[in-house]
Amino acid sequence: MLQKTNTATLADFEHHDHPESQSVFGFWIYLMTDCILFAALFATFGCFVHQFAGGPTGKELFDIPGVALETGVLLLSSITYGFAMLGAHQRKSGTVLLWLAVTFLLGAMFLTFELREFSHLIAEGAGPQRSAFLSSFFVLVSTHGLHVFFGLVWMGVMMLQVIRRPNLGEKELRRLTCLSLFWHFLDIVWICVFTFVYLGSVI
């Protein structure tokens, strides 16, 4: 009898915990590969940060107050996503949907600011083809922006899933947790972009 109980307990553990731990662990591995990607892009920017080819410098181009506002919006979205996760752990689907919607709007606002900055730079003749400095800048910042875009798509999908399954089972909670890791990771990367790329270029 004891052997059967132990066997059942082990089977139950493998059935319920193993897939979850595999999913979260696999997502951490993905984030590590993204760290390598962004580290390479930061290293490339560091190599070309003074390669202006007679063109404008970052000090002449970057609007630090505007980028600081952009940064504040993204950091605020990280806080609002935290509120969504609190609601998820309490199984309050309405709270989750509210804060996911707020986070989505803040993320969309961040992308709007970024696209506006790109269009302004290109209109001023400071597009990615102007110099190695600008090429590395556009690649780094747009790669982060592309991640934010896919994060918003993922967030929209999660909102639909919460609407369809308001009871918020373990599967939905696990997916929301992975998205939370991804979103906070993007905030950390952007802090590095703001410090290393923008502030480092004007100081």
* Across 159-184, average pLDDT: 93
> Which is it for the CA torsion 33, 34, 38, 44, positive or negative?
positive
Q: Which residues contact 65 (CB under 8 A, 6 or more apart)?
A: none
What pLDDT, in 10s, does the model give residues 120-142? 999 999 999 999 999 999 999 99
Whether the CA torsion 114, 115, 121, 124 is positive or negative: it is negative
Higher pLDDT, 46 or 19: 46
Both tokens of residue 48?
């070309």
Q: Which phi and psi (to 5°) does residue 63 adopt?
A: -100, 95
Confidence class for position 21, pLDDT limits 50, 70, 90: low
pLDDT band at 23 (very low <50, low <70, confident <90, very high): confident
For tokens 């390479």, name the residue. 40
pLDDT, mean over the chain: 90
What is residue 71's predicted lDDT score, i.e. its pLDDT? 97
What is the distance between the alpha carbons of residues 73 and 81, in angstroms, rounded to a whole number? 12
Tens of pLDDT, residues 49-61: 999 999 999 999 9
Quick one: 125 exposed, middle or buried, by C-beta within 10 A (0-12, 13-18, 19+)? exposed
pTM here?
0.87
Domain ranges of the chain: 27-47+57-202
The structure tokens listed for 138 are 């556009």
At the topology level of CATH, where does 27-47+57-202 sit? Four Helix Bundle (Hemerythrin (Met), subunit A) (1.20.120)
Sign of the Cα torsion 64, 69, 72, 73 reads negative
pLDDT band at 20 (very low <50, low <70, confident <90, very high): low
Computed from CA positions of residues 191, 145, 64, 199, in that sequence, does the dihedral angle turn out positive or negative? positive
Work out the average pLDDT over 168-194: 95
